[in-house]
Amino acid sequence: MRGATHAKWTACAVVVALAATACGGGDSGGGSGASGIVSSSWGDPQNPLEPANTNEVQGGKVLDMLFRGLKRYDSKTGEAKDMLAEKIETTDSTTFNVTVKDGWTFSNGEKVTAKSFVDAWNYGASLKNNQKNAYFFGYIEGYDKTHPDKGEPSAETLSGLKVTGERTFTVKLNQKFSTWPDTLGYNAFAPLPRAFFDNHAAWLSKPVGNGPYTVNSYSKGSKLEMRKWDGYPGPDKAQNGGVDLKVYTDNNTAYTDLTAGNLDLVDDVPASQLKNVKADLGDRYINTPAGIIQTLAFPYYDEAWNTPGAVKVRKGLSMAINRAQITDTIFQKTRTPATDWTSPVLGADGGYKAGLCGDACKYDPAGAKKLIEEGGGIPGGQVKISYNADTGSHKEWVDAICNSVNNALGNDRACVGNPVGTFADFRSQITQSKMSGPFRAGWQMDYPLIQNFLQPLYYTNASSNDGKWTNAEFDKLVNEANAETDKAKAVDLFQKAEEVLRDQMGAIPLWYQNGSAGYSTRVSNVALNPFSVPVYNEIKVS
């Protein structure tokens, strides 16, 4: 019976194979179909869901539902309004006395006190906890002790934070920063319950916060179910029974699910569907401005781009770009040509100034050619615009820009795209200062202040000053603006700084990005906030 023996050995091998590969069944379950639940598309968050560790939109929208901080940005105007803060007072723009409102609790019943904030901020600032948003606490005194640039931290807690009562604490900053309270709406400043510190792993698998929703179930990488918290004490209670966030492998699939009536909300309409979206959704398509600007940054560590003549070259390049045509044809008007370095969502009072860029941002191919020639021509004879090719369909618009530049200069080799395989590699080349020409830069605001569009990006050695641009006059004006207690005057000084940036053309502004979303007939009252995140708690389910 040789055949039988063979079969036996084959069967053995199959058993080994199955034992080596099968890793137990998935844990299914979870009751769907509950009433008033909004289902929404989601992307897998890149980092663990902790307030001070979440720096991208996908994790941010969860924190936005789970937490409420001292301030909250108005979902329409973006204005920072008191949420848990009863009052934040200062006399010198350096020391702030904070009083937390009474009657707030976390969803596990624990009271939200001054300590909930101080503990959370100390945790976020400490180098030991590897929090990616740690630099948000950089303005607080003692940050350099808990988070030194090199070596081990010499302090556990920030010396600038002191709990003075159950509901009061003081914050001492290491520099004057009059609009600092307005930054407190950012998620990194959310309070944390004791459970976070006592059993961190358990908290991460089912986060507990003080916002209008609680986590019902969370299966990482696939689905997060949030339910309305009936005991929520705040004024912005959830208008629906809950939100199910579903991870999609591709935003095209999410869009297909929406058109098939299988999903209620898509907050990222894929570029390829923008042509059909009006026909598919009609009024249920939202296209509103968001606090995002796209620019081209330059490597100032490269001598060739840091000459006096290069200013003219940069201005010339800016003038050679036909922004209107690109935003119309490639982005189907989901972006608006930029005329300054901030965003329209700030509003005129907040520091947005349409047309600040002036002629340098107007399409003028003849003028562009003249300026570039005056400036000594393009360094090296060719501009290479670097971008990451893996996400965001950057290739299309970079090629379009190059096309526009080449036409203006009458030289079809004057500008080429330089794709980099992955975003991680693109970022690592930038942080290692390896760029040889202009590169794609995008900025999504953390809080709606003009300061956030200028200081982190263009201040000398600032955290996101990727091109290493430096200008003493600009730095001086930013410092003055931060010290100014009158908001209107501060904004004015920031705009003066922005004019310095314009005169040097430190970075070429390209366009403001809109948030685009679509929703099903089942839901209503859907809107995007200035951060292009849906205002989930206001969505109504019919």
Partner 1 sequence: MGRYVIRRLLQMIPVFFGATLLIFLMVNVMGDPIAGLCGDKACDPATAARLKQEFGLDKPVWQQYATYMGNVFTGDFGTAFNGQEVTELMSTAFPVTIRLTIIAILFEIVIGITLGVVTGLRRGRPIDTAVLILTLVVIAIPTFVTGLVLQLLLGVEWKWIKPSVTPDAPFDELLIPGLVLASVSLAYVTRLTRTSIAENSRADYVRTAVAKGLPRRRVITRHLLRNSLIPVVTFIGTDVGALMGGAIVTERIFNIHGVGFQLYQGILRQSTQTVVGFVTVLVLVFLVANLVVDLLYAVLDPRIRYA
Q: Which 238-277 positions form the footprint of partner 1 (CB under 8 A)?
A: 246-250, 252-254, 256-257, 259-260, 262-263
Q: Look up residue 150 and give its two tokens.
A: 């090199």
Q: Is 204 in the site for partner 1 (CB under 8 A)?
A: yes
> Please, what is the minimum distance in Å from the beta carbon of residue 403 to partner 1?
25
Q: Is 222 in the site for partner 1 (CB under 8 A)?
A: yes
**Binding region for partner 1 (CB under 8 A) out of 369-377, 403-411, 425-433, 498-506:** 425-433
> Please, what is the minimum distance in Å from the beta carbon of residue 513 to partner 1?
12
Q: Is 220 in the site for partner 1 (CB under 8 A)?
A: yes
Q: Is 470 in the site for partner 1 (CB under 8 A)?
A: no
Cα 285–Cα 291–Cα 292 angle in degrees, nearest 5: 90
Q: Between 60 and 534, whose beta carbon lies closer to partner 1?
A: 60
Q: Is 521 in the site for partner 1 (CB under 8 A)?
A: no
**Binding region for partner 1 (CB under 8 A) out of 112-120, 360-368, 420-428, 509-517:** 420-428
> Please, what is the minimum distance in Å from the beta carbon of residue 135 to partner 1?
5
Can you tell me which of 380, 425, 489, 521 binds partner 1, judged by CB under 8 A?
A: 425
Q: Between 378 and 420, whose beta carbon lies closer to partner 1?
A: 420
**Binding region for partner 1 (CB under 8 A) out of 4-12, 231-239, 269-277, 408-416:** 4-12
Can you tell me which of 35, 391, 472, 542 binds partner 1, judged by CB under 8 A?
A: 391
Cα torsion 460, 465, 466, 469 to 10°: value is -40
The bridge status of strand 507-519 relative to strand 265-266 is antiparallel
Q: Looking at residues 13 to 32 of the shown chain, list those that interact with partner 1 (rule: CB under 8 A).
A: 13-14, 16-17, 20-26, 28
Q: Is 322 in the site for partner 1 (CB under 8 A)?
A: no
Q: Look up residue 233 and give its two tokens.
A: 């004490």
Q: Is 195 in the site for partner 1 (CB under 8 A)?
A: no
Total Cβ atoms within 10 A of residue 199: 11
> Please, what is the minimum distance in Å from the beta carbon of residue 363 to partner 1?
26
CB 297 within 8 A of CB 431: no
Q: Look up residue 405 and give its two tokens.
A: 């530049």
Q: Which alpha helices (H) appear in 90-165, and where do they start and end?
A: 114-125, 143-146
Closest CA to 511 of 231, 328, 323: 323
Q: Is 202 in the site for partner 1 (CB under 8 A)?
A: no
Distance CA 24, CA 414 (A): 57
Which whole-number Å values give the CA distances from 115 to 66, 100, 107, 171, 453, in the listed order? Answer: 19, 10, 17, 12, 31
**Binding region for partner 1 (CB under 8 A) out of 184-192, 215-223, 343-351, 469-477:** 215-223
Closest CA to 440 of 474, 403, 389, 404: 389
> Please, what is the minimum distance in Å from the beta carbon of residue 181 to partner 1?
22
Distance CA 467, CA 457 (A): 9
Distance CA 440, CA 392 (A): 12
Q: Between 12 and 324, whose beta carbon lies closer to partner 1?
A: 12
Q: Is 145 in the site for partner 1 (CB under 8 A)?
A: no
Q: Look up residue 330 and give its two tokens.
A: 């490639």
Cα 376–Cα 377–Cα 380 angle in degrees, nearest 5: 110
Q: Between 48 and 377, whose beta carbon lies closer to partner 1?
A: 48
Q: Is 135 in the site for partner 1 (CB under 8 A)?
A: yes
> Quick one: CA dihedral 43, 387, 441, 268, positive or negative?
negative
